[in-house]
Amino acid sequence: MRNKKKFIKVAIDSPAAAGAGTIALSISKHYNLLYLDTGKAYRFLAMHKIKNPKKFTINFAKKKINKLKIKDLNKKNLLSNKIGIEASIIAKKKSIRDLVHKFQLKLAYSPPKKYSGSCLDGRDITYNIIPDADFKFFITANIKTRAQRRYKELNKLKMKISFEEVLKTIKLRDKRDYSRKIAPLKKTKDSILINTTNLTKRACFLKIKKIIDKKISINGNL
């Protein structure tokens, strides 16, 4: 593990479709950070469970996670509604969370040397995965705005689904994410709240950049 003074760790938690992924990716590119959308790791396993329901055991999942590369998480089919629902179900299981947890920790604390740090977004990053993160954010938006964003995203991918179905799915995911017993979604006291409902992607990026730059200029930790 590197001396944390030589790189920064950014932790972001958010409900589904709040724009955290887009913002985290922009921040990662700007500061040369390794980016991981942790939710896609669960979606990756959910995809394999749907494809191989009878073969899907904890050992099967372990083999898939051990071979998982970040590029594998960029597959467009991982964004399907069906996979999203299954991902929220398997994410409740401690055995699955433990597997994904190890994968997340490795990338958060030991990113490849070419990076200046790491940026992870998910549901429990700020308090469970990177509790000592240099920067913590909780990104949210009202539920209709989130559903509209996901609906447009799925339409661009030519996935046939109604807005009502998307809204229903997000409501269900919110309920599961906030109420699950293991690592539920929550805003920590030391996380900065960013509401993206009425903000453009650029405005969100600049708001977070200003916060990061201010701390870096004071502490000089980059």
Neighbours of 114 (CB within 10 A): 7
pLDDT tens by residue, 200-211: 999 999 999 999
Mean local confidence (pLDDT), 97-107:
95
Domain ranges of the chain: 8-206
The tally of CA atoms less than 13 A away on the side-chain side of residue 200 is 3
Amino acid at 213: D
- Looking at residue 57, what DSSP letter applies? -
Helix H or strand E segment including 95: helix 94-109
pTM for the complete prediction? 0.89
Neighbours of 102 (CB within 10 A): 12
pLDDT tens by residue, 19-46: 999 999 999 999 999 999 999 999 999 9
- The pLDDT, as a whole number, for residue 218 is 77
Q: Which fold has domain 8-206?
A: Rossmann fold (3.40.50)
- Distance, in Å, from the CA atom of 183 to the CA atom of 163, rounded to the nearest integer, reads 29
Sole residue written with tokens 């030991």? 110
Beta bridge partners of 34: 118
- Looking at residue 182, what DSSP letter applies? S
